[in-house]
């Protein structure tokens, strides 16, 4: 079974600074998807960024980028120019690319990010 | 386009009762998945529906069940509620089975007294 581990329960960063959240995963599959979701106090789970395992190029969405190291099974999220609105719980998630059971997301335990003004 | 909607947003029940939660996916989305979020266990997959059929099920007891209607709306039911069922229940939709991105609703907060 696949597992996702986020080793940082809490992180804090000064506004406008850069922060990196860590995520490692374990799988025997070669094709899969990885995601970062954020969950602000409203509890709405919001997709931040996604990465297809077959793509070597790291995904980027505005101030958010990932460092995907497939061999190391590592998937970190970098947030540049941190803003107060980035404060949230961040979840790393894995999804198999197989059709059977493909919709199941496996989540890490989350990292609570605090932005200091 | 409207996002995923879940009703009700908050619910208080007592042990032994049953509860039904509803999820309306994004228009055009045909796959719906349900997740339970608790402080102790984190986010856990409950089940997935596509074309009115349950395609995948997580490791939950039979008290947890669900269904999907022809318009892709989904309901989940929990019978004989236990204190440990108190959680945030999240619904997520995606365009088709096997597509890579799930979009989440705001959740239903269930409290069991």
Tell me the average pLDDT across A13-39. Answer: 95
Asked if B45 and A95 come within 8 Å (Cβ–Cβ), the reply is no
Comparison of pLDDT for B99 and B47, the residue scoring more: B47
Asked if the model's pLDDT at residue A102 lies above 60, the reply is no
Inter-chain residue contact B56 with A105, CB threshold 8 Å: no
A56: left (phi over 0), alpha (psi -120 to 50) or beta: alpha
Chain B residues closer than 8 Å to A33 by CB? 100
Instruction: Identify the DSSP state of A103.
Output: T
Closest A-chain CA to B54: A101
Q: Nearest chain A Cα to B5, which residue?
A: A44
**A87 close to A115: Cβ distance less than 8 angstroms:** yes
- Chain segment A59-79, per-residue pLDDT in tens: 999 999 999 999 999 999 999
What rounded mean pLDDT belongs to chain A? Answer: 93
For B56, which of A43, A101, A109 is closest by C-beta distance? Answer: A101
Secondary element (H or E) of residue B94:
strand B87-94
Residues B49, A89, B13, B81: is their CA dihedral positive or negative? positive
Residues of B in contact with A50 (CB under 8 A): 100-101
Percent of chain B scored above 70 by pLDDT? Answer: 96
Amino acid B62: pLDDT: 95
Calpha distance A27→A30 (Å, rounded): 8
Whether the per-residue pLDDT at A42 is higher than 90: the answer is no
A-chain residues near B42 (CB < 8 A): 107-110
C-alpha closest to that of B31 among B106, B99, B105, B109:
B99
In this prediction, residue B8 carries a pLDDT of: 97
Q: Is B85 helix (H, G, I), strand (E, B) or coil?
A: helix
Contact A44 B31 (CB under 8 A): no
Could you tell me the pLDDT band of residue B95, with boundaries at 50, 70 and 90?
A: confident
Inspect the interface and report whether the beta carbons of B56 and A103 lie closer than 8 Å.
Answer: yes
């Amino acid at each position: 079974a696949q597992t996702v581990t986020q080793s940082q329960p809490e992180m804090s960063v000064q506004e406008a600074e850069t922060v990196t959240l860590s995520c490692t995963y374990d799988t025997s599959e070669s094709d899969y998807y990885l995601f970062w979701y954020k969950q602000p106090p409203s509890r709405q789970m919001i997709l931040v960024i996604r990465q297809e395992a077959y793509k070597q190029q790291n995904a980027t969405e505005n101030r958010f980028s990932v460092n995907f190291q497939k061999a190391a099974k590592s998937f970190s999220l970098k947030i540049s120019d941190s803003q107060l609105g980035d404060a949230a719980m961040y979840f790393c998630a894995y999804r198999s690319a197989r059709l059977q059971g493909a919709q199941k997301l496996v989540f890490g335990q989350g990292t609570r990010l605090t932005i200091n003004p | 386009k409207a996002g995923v909607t879940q009703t009700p947003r908050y619910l208080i029940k007592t042990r032994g009762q049953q509860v039904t939660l509803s999820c309306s996916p994004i228009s055009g989305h045909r796959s719906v998945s349900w997740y339970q979020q608790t402080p102790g266990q984190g986010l856990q997959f409950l089940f997935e529906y596509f074309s009115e059929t349950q395609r995948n099920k997580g490791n939950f007891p039979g008290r947890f069940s669900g269904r999907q209607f022809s318009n892709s709306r989904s309901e989940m039911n929990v019978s004989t509620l236990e204190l440990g069922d108190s959680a945030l229940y999240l619904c997520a939709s995606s365009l088709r089975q096997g597509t890579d991105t799930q979009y989440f609703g705001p959740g239903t907060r269930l409290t069991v007294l």
